[in-house]
Chain A
Amino acid sequence: MSSNSLLFSINNEGKVYALPTSGSCWREFMYLGLEFKTLSAIPHFLWAVGGDRQIYLHVHGLEIPIRVKEESYENERWLPLEGFSGRLLPTDRYHFSSLDGTKDRSIDRIRLPSMAWQWEGDWQLELTLDGQPLDHDGWSYAVDFPAQFGPTKQWKSCVRRRKWIRYRKFSAMNSWCAIAPLHKDPTQEPFIDVSIGGNQMPYASPGTLSVWAITAHGRVMYRTGVSTTSPEGQKWINISTPPNCDIKQISVGPTGLVWALLWTGRVIIRKGITKDTLTGEAWLEVKSPNDAKLVSISIGYNAAWAVSSDTRVWFRKGIEGINAGNSEVAATGTGWLEITGNMVQVSVGINDQVFAIGESDKCIYWRSGITPAELTGKRWRMIQANMQLSRTSSSASVVSSASNVKHHSLTTLSETTTEKKSNINLHHSWEESHSAPSEHTLPVKSTRESRSKANKTTENIDFTGKSYETTLKNPRAWSPVRSVGSVVGMEAQPDSDSSVFDVDSGMFFDDEVSQTAWGTCDTTWAFVQAGACSVDIMQPPHWFSDSHNVYNTDITTKWRISILENLKNRNNNKDLNLEHYGLAVEEKGWTRSCEARLINTNNSGEECILSLYWHDLENIGTLSVFQPDGTIKFILNLGEVTSVFSLSEPGCPRIALCVPRQNESSIKIQFISEMEQEEWLSVLVDITSQINGVTGRASSNSVWAVTSSGDVLNWDSLPSKLNNGAYTKEFQVFGKSIVTGFSTHLNNNFPPGSTIMLTGSLFDEIRRFYINLQGPEVKKQRHKIETEITDIPFHFNVRFDENAVVCNSMIFGSWGSEERHDLPIAPGQEFSIKIICDVQVFRIFVNDKLYCLYEHRLNPENITSIVVQGPLKLYTMEYSTTSVIIGADEMYWRMMGGYLRRVESCQNGVVWGISHDHRVWVYTGGWGGGILKGLGSKDGIHSMTDTQTYCIYENQRWNPLSGYTSTGLPTDRYMWSDITGKHKRTREHTKLLSHHWHWISEWMIDYNTPGGVDSDGWQYATDFPAPYHGKKLFTDCVRRRRWYRKAQINTEGPWVRAGSTALIDIALWSNGEDVSVWAITLAGDAIYRTGVTTATPTGLQWEHVNSPVSLIAVSTCNDVVWAVGRKGEIYYREDVSKEKPGGSNWRLIKAPKCNYPYSHKSIGAKGVSLNQRSAWVLLANSCIAVRSHVKKEQLDGKEWKYMTDCDMTFKHVSCMENDVWAVCADGSLQRRLGVTAENQVGSSWQRVLFGAIAHVSSRGSSME
């Protein structure tokens, strides 16, 4: 549910109210002393016609400001005498130009588009080029202009350029902003209607919006240049209408489709509105329903609704939003259907949901049951939400402020403000943020700009986008009407007012607190606008009283108490001894079985029968897999299963079971139906969680992972047995063959304080046996790649043939000097050997007597495994260390519920997630939801949605006769394929993953494919695996275009939305109760969140941090913040502290080198994770480099270190304290062993989970 989803309405007093879908109370929209006639809204953008018949714009709910980066390149040419100079050749580009040199971009002529914008700082030089630092003047050099620029000046460099950048910010956020009138005298041609739409225009570039308006003269005006980055657009242009068409109302649908209603009750529509012709081509008339005169229309995506003068409601069937621009029928629909109910006005919102105002009661109704399949819905439901007791609805205050509508002088403003402060207690604190505006809140102009303005005469006021200069002549007397795109009245405080509409802290989300100030008062509504209202029809908002529960009152009734009392006393017969009564229905184990297929590694299936047995009292369970003839294939002890998650492919509902003790890879099972798969998954997760004793909330220090199918897994490091301050683990050694050698991992290595204890008996025939405490395997590249152990810190070799015990160490593959001792044991005897690691020495006990000491020659922390080999039997092997020992085969990964792309945690238990559509979620502490049903309780389980895009490529080859056709060469790729061309994909056969997914769009051509496209979406190349470009060249023989279709999943999980800003990366670091949260937005900006604590995990709001380049990744720890730029460069943030969470500047960090042998090329980064003393950086070549000694005093660290023990490639890395986890390119989850303060790189990787992992966060790990 989008937290910005609001239903707007105007009451009969002309006041605007908003009802959030997440709340149940109408709240009055900020009152300006100005009534509103009509509204039109899409999420975040609200256009309105005021009581003064002028148009106003309100931008709200955006958590980060609208910022536009202005760029200008300063070009210079080397002249023989003067050196580099701004005098260029006549054929050259402008002195200040755009990137390609075609446009003049003199920086003194780049001005703010309107008073609604403010500059952020002055013009600055960009001092990096592709991540490479430039000199102080920021020049980059080239031979001639259209050439590759480089950072260094060479003898042949004839031209140079540098880039100036300056940001401007839309400062009129969260306040009404007047749009300039058409004429100098605003009363000359006032407006009567305005409508915004076009936010889902097919194929259009993101951010496109379309605004149409009607003037009192009946002229139709289109606002050019409106987009999400330019909310107020540029200017009005007139769209001519057919003669005798006096337009009364206009409605723009989300696809940009325009319908206009005439005073005569007829409807005309604008045909041919596409992404290229936003204003359309011509008007068409649509026949009104028989003998009905329409008075209100509203356009949705696939629907149009209307109300006629006799209050009947009409639905227009046959409208297809996606084709509306190309097909007349799709735009006009095919016929009217009468809908029951009597309404006076109707408004279509997101997903074609319909709201209307009733004829008799003037209440707002929602049409329930509207789905894409059934656009007419089922019935009208009245919205009965509580109402804010209006502070301005008394007629007195209306009069007092209404007189000032057009001229809010500064003095009257302060008066009205104090007047309002008097009843602040009743209402919300957001008034407090209003103080009288003072002069300096007006955009401050640099002297240079005002000079240029003085020179410039006022332009034609009709093209109002640039005419704000007029107001500068007398800034004190500015009027909201005259000042184009300016801020009206007291709301001219963009900075202090941000809380008003902040989705998390502001007025819309504290219903409980303020219930007292609300009442149900009967309001009669005049107008409803649903364009920004997104109703989840599965979970309608709590607006309707016709479903409220009457039984809550029954709890305390006499009869109910009496019934309960009597029920409880039924068997309370004193002389009845129930002890010897058996239970009729015993708690016995239960079984469940079904037919399924076992999926082999080569993806082929094998019929099998699954049978699950589970005994909940004894807490044991088995999963037996039978062959169809009933013979047992294998039986799994469910206690050994470390993870269960879904691994479905379209049409193949599968689950994966990880059983590391039995199987190297995971066991994949395919079920006959999705239902069956979900049931088994839920049951298996439930049982394995019970066996492992984990339930409910994930603990703070647990590790989170996300699988490639979006499941969220969690591992809780429950402490194992604790003995005398040490953690002990017994290895299963009995019956293992020692003769050929037995080795096992020592998960915590062997630091001082560790002990290993062996008991066993020797064979009668024995010459030698040894115990090795050895280091990790190291890859060696000789004639072929092989691994070997090069370091053995302790070798204990008992040689009966030499009558001695030899102790030694191997360092870099060569043995040191031997230390020999007498034999302590004889063949055929039982023995016990105990090795204790002290700071200086190993102490070896044989048969409980101190036998010898062995001084460390290598750091014992590098010991990762133990090997015993010789003719003997082992009874027990016990390993204890000072910290918790958990092997990979004991980590139970519990599915937590929800559908996400990545999850980031921190040490105090605050966990954030990002979904595939870049929305942000916060963990609520629950468990279950979705296909897991309510595993724990329903607490904290919320509905979730996520959107993913399916892409396929259409490929064509050119042949001389017929041009481009879909017949390729026999060697070519499929004509419909995936991006690699290796797999055939067709639009018709693209299936959704499960029934929780549904399509939310049709197949559409992607006009934003990287590399550029032509007007039909094609991109060309010389041959298939070649770089594609958007312009057809002579040499091109093949072309392709990308089709995409969006699908949405509806599920549930223990997650709740936080904020509405789309993010690509996020980093959390906990500092006691507080959490510092840094994130990277979809646009590549860095932001940080204020007010995140364990009590308020969603925090308050995002604060924006300026960054010179767009970023892709961020990490933070200990007030150190690192970020990665789009080109792979790494930055750190200066001066970050608790008092100054945003820091001051980004500084470049020396790039790491490619760690391929003998290469010293520096290489970019893809991701970063910081812990207390180092930074783990994922490089562009998918290797990992570690920057050591990163600390507060040395924010950029000391040196780069590279991993020498492996050539694995990685997708992601996450670290905290000594815990480092990474996801391998093949999807396996790895944990780094041996990371210590001294050895920051660690010693080796240990595989924890096999396959299908996409993301991991160990940021919650903690030593305590």
Chain B
Amino acid sequence: MANDREVLREIWDGKLPICFQLAQEEIMEIQQPDPFYVMVPRLSYFPLVTDKMKRHFLRFISQENSDSEMWLDYNGQPLKWHYPIGFLYDLYCGNDSQLPWNLTVHFTKFPEDILLHCPNKDVVEAHYMSTVKEADVLKHRGQVMSTMQKKDHNQLWLGLQNDKFDQFWAINRRLMESHGDNEGFKHIPVKMYSDDGICHQRLVIPKNSDGTRKTLQQMILELYPDKPDLNLRTHGIVIPPETPLQWLSEHLSYPDNFLHLCLC
């Protein structure tokens, strides 16, 4: 059970300072728009936090583009909205962190081949809920999610959307419980990413064959036998290799219930 409230709270309160700038080619006014500075929760998704920013830039772009979908890039790399913001930062700036994170805002030339469309927040919700479900299948064969009511799902989502820790954890707590006689999940929902953003997902069991808790180190040895000194980064920190996986999954998972770990 995820009961280390201090860590949970710290993870929840993690925020990134971001400086949004409108792409030069979008600017239709003589006056240059001011950059938009904002503190963004690491656990959130871009479509949930960019409403104000969008309004800020709208009056500087040509009217015909005002209804087109906005997208972001970092150093020419389009940012996928369906990943948590904190993870995107770890992926692209994890090694040489620079704050604030300078992102460029676009309204035209949507990179259809790289990004999914996100017409509204319902799409984010649908994506989010399906990821939570996937994680629950790995953890409890999907039993927890399926016994929850619609309103619980709603509360989970609203908690994330409105940055309400207690509201969110009141429900997420149940997803983080381990069932059955043995302590621990069936499998740990974990996604690992190399520098190029390619995701590796493997079935990882939280226990060793002798019943002891599997550590991060042991998982790395299992998955990458050739790279024993690999480091894994998430939430802006490098995880100590002796951390048990079960604990890690319970406390350091993103709200979608996955551990998003960046190899470095």
A interface residues, Cβ below 8 angstroms from B = 546, 549-551, 554-555, 557-560, 562-564, 566-568, 570-571, 573, 576, 578, 580-585, 590, 675, 679
Contacts and interface: CB of A to CB of B under 8 A. Distances in A.
B151 interface: yes
Given A551-B3, A567-B237, A582-B37, 12 more contacts: A546-B181, A551-B1, A551-B247, A559-B240, A562-B240, A563-B243, A570-B237, A571-B16, A571-B99, A576-B99, A583-B38, A675-B151
Contact of B10 (A549, A555, A567, A679): A567
A571 B17 contact: yes
Interface string B39-61: 11100100011101000000000
22 contacts: A549-B1, A549-B3, A551-B3, A554-B244, A555-B4, A558-B242, A559-B243, A560-B7, A562-B240, A563-B237, A563-B240, A563-B243, A564-B10, A566-B238, A567-B7, A570-B237, A580-B37, A581-B17, A581-B37, A582-B36, A584-B41, A585-B48
A554 B2 CA distance: 12
A581 B38 contact: yes
A546 B149 CA distance: 29
A566 B99 CA distance: 16
A134 B40 CA distance: 86
B119 interface: no
Contacts of A570: 14, 235-237
A585 B11 CA distance: 16
Contacts of A679: 151
A546 B178 CA distance: 13
Contact of B6 (A549, A564, A566, A580): A564
- 3 shortest interchain CB distances as A-B pairs: A584-B49, A566-B237, A559-B240
Identify the interface centre among A559, A568, A571, A578: most chain B CB within 10 Å of its CB.
A559
Contacts of A580: 37
A206 to B, nearest CB: 41
B243 A585 contact: no
A1238 B136 CA distance: 72
Given A551-B1, A554-B4, A584 B237 contact: no
Nearest to B158: A590
Contacts of A571: 15-17, 99
Contacts of A581: 17, 37-39, 100
B38 A584 contact: yes
B229 to A, nearest CB: 17
A590 B162 contact: yes
Nearest to B181: A546
Nearest to A579: B37
B69 interface: no
A584 B39 contact: yes
B239 interface: yes
B163 interface: yes
Contacts of A590: 162
Interface string B1-44: 10110110011001111000000000000000000111111001
A585 B238 contact: no
A576 B17 contact: yes
B99 A585 contact: no
A301 to B, nearest CB: 29
Contacts of B244: 554
Nearest to A379: B181
Interface in B95-134: 99-100
Contacts of B242: 557-559
A684 B161 CA distance: 22
A585 B37 contact: no
A560 B11 CA distance: 13
A563 B239 contact: yes
Given A578-B17, A584-B44, A585-B49, A568 B10 contact: yes
Nearest to B42: A570
Contacts of A566: 236-238
B183 interface: yes
Nearest to B46: A584
A551 B17 contact: no
Nearest to B7: A564
Contacts of B3: 549, 551
A582 B240 CA distance: 33
Interface in B210-264: 235-240, 242-244, 247, 252
A582 B14 contact: no
B37 to A, nearest CB: 5
Nearest to B9: A567
A558 B1 contact: no
Given A551-B247, A564-B6, A675-B151, A583 B39 contact: yes
A728 to B, nearest CB: 38
Nearest to A592: B158
B237 to A, nearest CB: 4
A550 B247 CA distance: 11
B4 A585 contact: no
Nearest to B183: A550
Identify the interface centre among A551, A564, A568: most chain B CB within 10 Å of its CB.
A551
Contacts of A550: 183
A585 B44 contact: yes
A584 B149 CA distance: 29
B242 to A, nearest CB: 5
Nearest to A554: B247
A1073 B83 CA distance: 60
A551 B37 contact: no
Contacts of B16: 571
Identify the interface centre among B1, B7, B44, B149: most chain A CB within 10 Å of its CB.
B7
A554 B50 CA distance: 38
A690 to B, nearest CB: 14
Interface in B167-198: 181, 183
Identify the interface centre among B36, B49, B244: most chain A CB within 10 Å of its CB.
B244
A1071 to B, nearest CB: 42
A590 B162 CA distance: 9
Contact of B52 (A549, A562, A567, A584): A584
A716 B88 CA distance: 51
A289 B239 CA distance: 59
Contacts of B163: 585
Nearest to B161: A585
Contacts of A576: 17, 99-100
Nearest to A570: B236
A546 to B, nearest CB: 7
Contacts of B52: 582, 584
Nearest to B182: A546
A711 to B, nearest CB: 23
A549 B48 CA distance: 37
Contact of A584 (B10, B14, B40, B183): B40
A551 B5 CA distance: 12
B4 A560 contact: yes
A568 B7 CA distance: 9
A564 B251 CA distance: 11
Contacts of A564: 6-7, 10
B38 A567 contact: no
Contacts of B151: 675, 679
Contacts of B149: 675
B120 to A, nearest CB: 17
B73 to A, nearest CB: 18
A29 to B, nearest CB: 33
B1 to A, nearest CB: 7
A201 B3 CA distance: 46
Contacts of B162: 585, 590
